Amino acid sequence: MRTAPVKPAGARRSRSSKEKRINTRSAPARSPHSRRPRAAATAAALLTFSCALAACSSGNAAPESAASSSAVGPTGAGTGSGQSSSAASSAAATSASASPSGSSLTAMQLAGQRVIYSYSGLTPPSSLLTLIREGEVGGVIFFSPNISSASQLAGVVKTLDAAQEQSPVHLPLLLMTDQEGGEIRRIAGGQPTQSEKEIGQSADPAQAAAQAGAGAAGTLKSAGLNMNLAPVLDVFSAAGDFDDQFGRSYSSDPNLVSTAGAAFITAQQADGVAATAKHFPGLGTAPTSADTDFEPVTLDASLTRLRSVDEEPYKAAIAAGVDVVMVSWAVYPALDAARPAGLSSVVVQQELRDRLGFKGVTVTDALEAGALKAYGGPGTRAVDAALAGMDLIMCSEQNPTQGQQATEALAAALQDGKLGSADFDASVDRLWALRQKLN
C-alpha cells in the first residue's frame, strides 16, 4: 500500500488497478461538534518539534506516545506489555462514554476494533453501516474514487458518525486517507501542495514540512477525517528509485528526513489529526520497479544501513510522539529472511517496539498486496499480522467483505487461543487510547 500516483500512459505498469490501495488510508473522523478544541499555533508546534529533536539527538529514550499513556484495558485485566498500570488506572477513571467497557463486547466486536474497512463508490454501502452500528468496525479508509469533493466527503463522514453513535463502542471511528502532498493527495486541491522531495530541497525544510503538516491537518479536518497516512519517512538511496520517482522522500540524507518528518508530524498532530510514519523499516533501497502492491519484494540492505539510515527518521518521529507507524510488506533478510516485515515479530516487536521504543499504534500496509500472495486469504493474513504484533489491519480492497473476513478470522483466533487475550487486549488498548485522544 504504497499510495504511489498513477503513472502516465506508456509507464512501466498501469496504476489503475492500484488506485484503490493507494487510497487505502482513511480514518473515520468525528463530526466537528464532537471534537474538543486544540491549539494549533505554528509556533507551539515548532517548539514541540524542536524539543523532540533535542530528545532524540541527546540519546534519551523516546517519550511514550499519547496513545499508550492513556490506554484502557478492554477486558478489565492487565494492560499487557508496554503499558503502565498508572496509565491504565488514569484511563479507567474517564467517563463511560469515552471508554467503552471491553468486557461487554463480543469477540467479533473486539476483533472489529482492529480492522479498517473500505468500499467502492461515493456512498458507503448499507452493509458497512450495519457493521458500524453493530460495533464491528474500527475505521474506514477513503480513496480518490470515494471522494468528489471535501464537502461530499464531509457528508459521508456524518453518515458514518451517525452509525457509530449507535454502536456499543462510544469512540470515534478512525477515518483516514493518504494526503502526503504533491501527487499523493486523495482530497484533490487540498493541502499540502508540495511533495516531500520539494520540501526537502527547499531553503528551510523544517519550516516547509511544518507548514505541510498543518495544511494536511486543515484539509482533512475540513472533510471530517482524523487520521492521515503520512508522512513517508523512507530515505531514498538513488535518483529515480521507487520513492524518488514520485517525489515521496524528503532526501537521501537521514538527518534531513528526520528533521522534516518530525516537523510534519508535530504540526499535523498539534491540529488534532493523527500522523502515520511509513514504511518501517524503510523502502529507501527499493529499486524503481519494486512494488509490494503487485509482487514480493526483498530488500538486501545491510543491518548497518537499516539501523543507521532507514530507521534513523523513526527515532525523531517517536520522540515527536507520532501516533501510528505503518510497517512495510517487503522482506528484509538482515532482520528476518523468512517473512515480510508486517508479518514478522522480529521487525514489529523486537526492532520497532523493543529497540526503538515505539509505544503507539502499528498499522499494516494493504492486506490485499501482491507481496502476500503466498500467505493465504484475508483471514490468514490478518491473523498472521496480529501474531507479529500489528494492531490495525488495513483492508483496502474497496469491498467490506474483505474487512468482514479479517474480523471473523481475528475473532476466531481470539476465541480458540491462537491469539492470546493479553496481547489482543494490549492492541485494543492502544487503539482505544488513540481514538479517545481524537474524540
Domains of the chain: 18-437 (3.20.20.300)
End-to-end CA distance of the chain: 27
Question: Which of 198, 235, 276, 218 shows the shortest CA–CA distance to 24?
Answer: 276
In this predicted structure, which of 50-59, 267-276, 370-379 has the lowest mean pLDDT?
A: 50-59
pLDDT at 387: 98
HEC states along 290-324?
Answer: CCCCCCCCECCCCHHHHHHHHCHHHHHHHHCCCCE
Show the CA angle centred on residue 11, arms to residues 10 and 16, nearest 5°.
Answer: 100
Residue that is written with C-alpha cell 502516465 in the block:
8
Q: Is the pTM of this model over 0.85?
A: no
| Cell numbers placing 70 | 492513556
Question: Which of 382, 380, 326, 385 shows the shortest CA–CA distance to 352?
Answer: 326
Q: Are strands 276-280 and 324-327 parallel, antiparallel or unpaired?
A: parallel
Average pLDDT over residues 280-286: 97
Residue type, 417: G
Average pLDDT over residues 173-202: 95
Average pLDDT over residues 86-113: 58
Q: How far is C-alpha 185 from the chain's CA centre?
A: 16
Query: What is the phi/psi pair of residue 357, to 5°?
Result: 80, 25
Q: How many helices (H) and strands (E) does the chain have?
A: 16, 10
Average pLDDT over residues 9-35: 35
The answer to whether residue 121 scores a pLDDT higher than 60 is yes
* Residue 331 DSSP SS3: strand
Q: Are strands 179-181 and 184-185 parallel, antiparallel or unpaired?
A: antiparallel
Average pLDDT over residues 98-119: 82
Cα 281 to Cα 289: distance, rounded to the nearest angstrom: 19
Query: What is the phi/psi pair of residue 340, to 5°?
Result: -60, 150
Percentage of the chain lying above the pLDDT 70 cut:
77
Give 45's pLDDT tier (boundaries 50, 70, 90). Answer: very low
Cα 365 to Cα 278: distance, rounded to the nearest angstrom: 9
Question: Which of 118, 106, 72, 67 shows the shortest CA–CA distance to 92?
Answer: 72
Average pLDDT over residues 136-141: 98
Average pLDDT over residues 103-121: 95
Whether 230 and 179 have beta carbons less than 8 Å apart is answered as yes
pLDDT at 439: 83
Residue type, 370: G
| Cell numbers placing 40 | 494549533
Cα 99 to Cα 92: distance, rounded to the nearest angstrom: 7
Query: What is the phi/psi pair of residue 252, to 5°?
Result: -90, 0
Residue type, 33: H
Whether 414 and 425 have beta carbons less than 8 Å apart is answered as no
Average pLDDT over residues 221-231: 97
Neighbouring residues of 119: CB distance < 8 A, sequence distance ≥ 6 = 125, 128, 140, 146, 398, 399, 400
In this predicted structure, which of 48-57, 173-182, 245-254, 267-276 has the lowest mean pLDDT?
A: 48-57
> Containing H/E element for 200?
helix 196-200
Cα 268 to Cα 228: distance, rounded to the nearest angstrom: 9
Cα 323 to Cα 64: distance, rounded to the nearest angstrom: 10
Average pLDDT over residues 409-437: 97
**How many other CB atoms are there within 10 angstroms of residue 390's CB atom?**
26
Whether 326 and 365 have beta carbons less than 8 Å apart is answered as yes
pLDDT at 101: 39
Whether 176 and 229 have beta carbons less than 8 Å apart is answered as yes
